[in-house]
Amino acid sequence: MLEPSLNYVVCPDTAGGHRMAYWQWGNPQASHMVVCVHGLTRQGRDFDTLARALCSAEGSSIRVVCPDVVGRGKSDWLKDPMGYQLPAYAANMLVLLKQLEPSTLDWVGTSMGGLIGMVLAGQPHVAAAPGRQAHEVASVGANIRRLVLNDVGPALQWQALQRIGEYLGRTGQYSSLQEAADALWASSSTFGPHTPAQWLAFSTPMVKPMPGHPGYLTLHYDPAIALPYRSVTPQSTLQGEAMLWQLYDSITAQTLLLRGAQSDLLSLQTAQAMTQRGPKARLQQFDGVGHAPTLIADDQVRAVLSFLLDK
């Protein structure tokens, strides 16, 4: 079975820098690169099914790059947890793109990963990394050919943000992988139907050995990612919404918007507005799914492949 290689890129920060891990699939020399970026508490192996499908598609020569956003997966944890915010995440992605230098760039972003994609595609200079000049990053947005936004948009429902905040930072202690998978399902059943085997495979990269507790597992991410999240208020959410709409309206990439038909984060009203303004996204919804589609089900994978591989 096709497997990825684990790689790292060094990103600057105010505390001397950190490493961001990324999983690379397919031909490392391929000029066409698809970057897949995960949601708030997830990690890059979420895209295993999609990556295998993209790399195995007939006639395609693609490399798929799936970062572990800093503080997650195999990436370093930040010394200053207030760095766990969207501008810093986008700056790290600019460093990654500078290192890999794709000729053709597509972006698939689930939830938080979609917001990062909107920053880069809509107004890249706002995410310039420390020490980088504006002219070095100004072309990134224009170079994103196709953009997939998975159950996310400029307007986010406050009730859903509150729901996520209830479990964010609680990384737990589990005596087995199955126990961890069951706990993850309790907070992630909105992802939609999965077979037990699919869910166990999807959950495996989500845990790691618990330091100081031999035989136990815990979730992979830094609990401190919850600290800046807790500062979010209804007022700041509305302020951020105005900025995100401005970014969205500046996107020129062809855009596909995926939505779980029962999503509590991306309202149908917002999704429909996204088809009428900015890049005028093509909307595809999936019945029986909330926030967010995992891109494992056949119909979800086909939707992404047909959009990215259509000449």
This prediction's pTM:
0.94
* Residues 98-107: tens digit of each pLDDT: 999 999 999 9
What is the arithmetic mean of pLDDT over 38-43?
A: 98
Task: Give the residue among 190, 228, 225 at the shortest CA–CA distance from 43.
Answer: 225
pLDDT in the model for residue 129: 42
Domains of the chain, first to last: 5-157+234-309 (3.40.50.1820)
pLDDT of amino acid 133: 42
Identify the band that residue 26 occupies on the pLDDT scale cut at 50, 70 and 90: very high
Residue-wise pLDDT for 203-228, tens only, equals 999 999 999 999 999 999 999 999 99
Rounded mean pLDDT of 85-92? 96
> pLDDT at position 310, please?
86
